[in-house]
């Protein structure tokens, strides 16, 4: 793995990232909610891309991992700004394939819409667009709207998972599944049907909402939310490899 570097945003935020130079389209991985670039899927894809001589970028959102800031201040808009700043700083002019896991699957759509012609493809893993809407009880929404923090049981650690009012309010202004998502690049969507965090039906809704005619969905019948088993990782690498080849062929036309 390459060494961790830091990109300073105009307001002083220091965003931790790893970057590997190489051929394009470049691979950018967006982790999930309260996750970071040291997760198994992120590091596996980065190492695979490095071995293939492909450009790749990992990052920690502000308030996560090794980046500065407080998680309580994080929003989709803020993190989209950080992702785009790093893409502009390290991938100048390169076309980009964005991979998003869980919440990162929502953020990848927002980043993709901002990238315009530079977007070469998307790959969502248990994508969770609009989870501030479908993932919350009405009582929780009322508490969040009133400025309260809502805590959820965390199946992956001892501490409960917080949702802060700022994140929820910003998410409610970024809902995408109610209309057509104006992206026409190739899209690949993976989802485990035993996912207890994000229903696999959300991926089907996303596939229908995307404007692209080239959308392929792969459902893993016995897969969970993380899709981090050996066979799941192998599927992810195969899917990324094929998507990059599709993007390259499109660029040659």
Question: Domain boundaries in the chain?
Answer: 5-129+165-252
Cβ atoms 123, 107 nearer than 8 A: no
Cβ atoms 123, 207 nearer than 8 A: no
5-129+165-252 in CATH: which number? 3.40.50.1820
Catalytic-residue membership of 62 = no
pLDDT band at 137; cut points 50, 70, 90: very high
Q: Which of 60, 195, 197, 232 is flagged as catalytic? A: 195
pLDDT band at 253; cut points 50, 70, 90: low
Please state, in angstroms and rounded to a whole number, the distance separating the CA atoms of residues 75 and 143: 18
Please state, in angstroms and rounded to a whole number, the distance separating the CA atoms of residues 32 and 127: 9
Catalytic-residue membership of 164 = no
Q: Which of 60, 102, 191, 197 is flagged as catalytic? A: 102
Catalytic-residue membership of 225 = yes
DSSP character at residue 251: H
pLDDT band at 205; cut points 50, 70, 90: very high
- pLDDT tens for 19-41 read 999 998 999 999 999 999 999 99
């Amino acid at each position: 793995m390459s060494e961790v570097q830091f990109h300073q945003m105009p307001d002083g935020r220091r965003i931790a990232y790893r970057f590997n130079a190489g051929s394009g389209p470049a691979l950018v991985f967006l982790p999930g909610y309260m996750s970071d670039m040291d997760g198994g899927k992120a590091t596996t894809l980065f190492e695979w891309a490095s071995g293939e001589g492909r450009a790749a970028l990992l990052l920690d959102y502000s308030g996560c991992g090794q980046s500065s800031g407080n998680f309580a201040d994080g929003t989709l808009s803020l993190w989209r700004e950080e992702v785009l700043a790093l893409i502009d700083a390290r991938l100048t002019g390169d076309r980009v394939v964005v991979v998003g896991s869980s919440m990162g699957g929502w953020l990848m759509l927002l980043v993709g819409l901002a990238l315009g012609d530079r977007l070469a493809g998307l790959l969502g893993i248990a994508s969770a667009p609009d989870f501030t809407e479908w993932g919350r009880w009405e009582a929780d929404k009322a508490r969040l709207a009133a400025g309260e923090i809502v805590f959820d049981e965390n199946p992956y650690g001892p501490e409960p998972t917080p949702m802060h009012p700022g994140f929820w309010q910003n998410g409610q202004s970024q809902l995408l599944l109610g209309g057509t998502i104006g992206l026409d690049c190739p899209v690949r969507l993976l989802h485990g049907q035993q996912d207890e965090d994000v229903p696999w039906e959300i991926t089907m809704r996303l596939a229908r909402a995307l404007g692209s005619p080239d959308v392929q969905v792969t459902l893993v019948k016995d897969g969970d939310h993380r899709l981090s088993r050996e066979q799941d990782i192998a599927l992810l690498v195969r899917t990324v490899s094929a998507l990059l080849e599709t993007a390259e062929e499109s660029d040659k036309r």
